[in-house]
Structure 1
Amino acid sequence: MQPYEERLTAPRSWWFASVLVGVAMALIMLPFGTLPLLGGLVGGTAVAAVVTSAYGSVRIRVMAGSLVAGDARIPVSALGEAEVLTGEETRAWRSYKADPRAFMLLRAYIPTALRVKITDPADPTPYAYISTRHPEALAEALNAVRQNTP
């Protein structure tokens, strides 16, 4: 059973920006002729789209007794209280309240987040800040896995 899964996709405006990068590359290649212009358009758009896709392919999952957020895999047994962050709290915890030792899965285009305390004494990381579109559902999934883990 997989109680929670989310993919933090990039906003549509970023895909439009990828096309604009292609247009800019085409304009740079314009003095060299038609084929380089088309190559710049296709190549610039493709490279920008790959970068956008890679940035927007981060997954958050709660599975098999672990929280998987991007490259991090944290056992639920090492997690403490989860705090849902919205509005000004989100901005505060990703800026002036942020601890440099914290794990931050930060996506500025997502206005909500979850801050989960890390209780493992061997881990110097005080908390995990995870940008998510559904912080309440993620907190519920963590609590459900924590209750079912011996």
Structure 2
Amino acid sequence: MPSRSTATSTSTYRERWTVPWWGWTGALAVALLMAAEVHLGYGGLRAWLPYVICVPVALIAVAALSRITVAVTDDELQVDDAHIPRRFLIAAEALDPEARREALGPELDPVAFVVHRPWVRGLVRVYLDDPDDPTPYWIISSRRPEALLAALDLPLPAPE
């Protein structure tokens, strides 16, 4: 993939996938249970050290899952650290729940680029035409798939 351009381009769409409250609560609960298992009623250093280690590690892990952004600029589509110039994008479609199951399961191309989080319900498939890249399409989670499609301003894929 080409390197990021240094020229400034205006963002027409941007979203960040944050982990919902129940993800933070679950991670904290698992960390506390793990620390309690190690603690097991001992005193001294062994009483508090597991909590000091497990809880921050769990919270950092959840925070790392909340850092992914999707952005569409005048020049490119960016998903986390990956980006592709818009001139290589040929079509895009939002996937309903049934199509989502098929796209992530039996129909998934092994060389497709997939950035998916289960707590983000929407899914968009963007078809590519890049002669230097064998990737046929990107599958991207999106909280607002219709807004992402509008920002991409691409036609629907041709029926097979």
When the two structures are superposed, what TM-score results if normalisation uses the length of structure 1?
0.88
- 2:125 maps to a residue whose letter is R
Give the equivalent residue in structure 2 for 1:104. Answer: 114
Q: Distance in 2 between matches of 1:66 and 1:21?
A: 39
Match in the other structure for 2:79? 69
Give 5+ residue unaligned stretches, structure 1: 145-150
Separation in structure 2 between the aligned mates of residue 37 and residue 68 of structure 1, nearest angstrom? 45
In the TM superposition, residue 73 of structure 1 has moved relative to its aligned partner by: 0.6
Say if 1:2 and 1:62, in contact at 8 Å, map to a contact too: yes
Please, which of 64, 71, 88 is the counterpart of residue 98 of structure 2?
88
Runs (4 or more) in structure 1 with deviation over 6 Å come to none
Aligned residues: 144
Q: Any stretches of 5+ residues in structure 2 without a counterpart?
A: 1-9, 155-160
Encode CA deviations 1:5-43: one digit per residue, 9 max, x unaligned: 000111221101121123113312234325433332232
Verify: 1:8 aligned to 2:9, yes or no.
Answer: no
* Secondary structure of 1:32 counterpart: coil
Given the alignment of the two structures, is residue 133 of structure 1 paired with residue 143 of structure 2, yes or no? yes
d(CA) in 2 for partners of 1:140 and 1:71?
A: 22
Does structure 1 retain, via aligned residues, the 8 Å contact 2:126–2:139? yes
Q: Is residue 52 of structure 2 the alignment partner of residue 42 of structure 1?
A: yes
State the TM-score, normalizing by the size of structure 2.
0.83
Query: Which region of structure 1 is more displaced relative to structure 2, 128-137 or 102-111?
Result: 102-111
More helix by share: 1
Closer/same/farther in 2, CA of residues 126 and 25 from structure 1, 3 Å limit: same
What's the RMSD between the two structures over aligned residues?
1.6
> Is the alpha carbon distance of 1:60 and 1:133 closer, same or farther for their aligned partners in structure 2, counting shifts above 3 Å?
same
Checking the alignment, whether the CA contact within 8 Å between 1:22 and 1:42 is kept in structure 2 is no
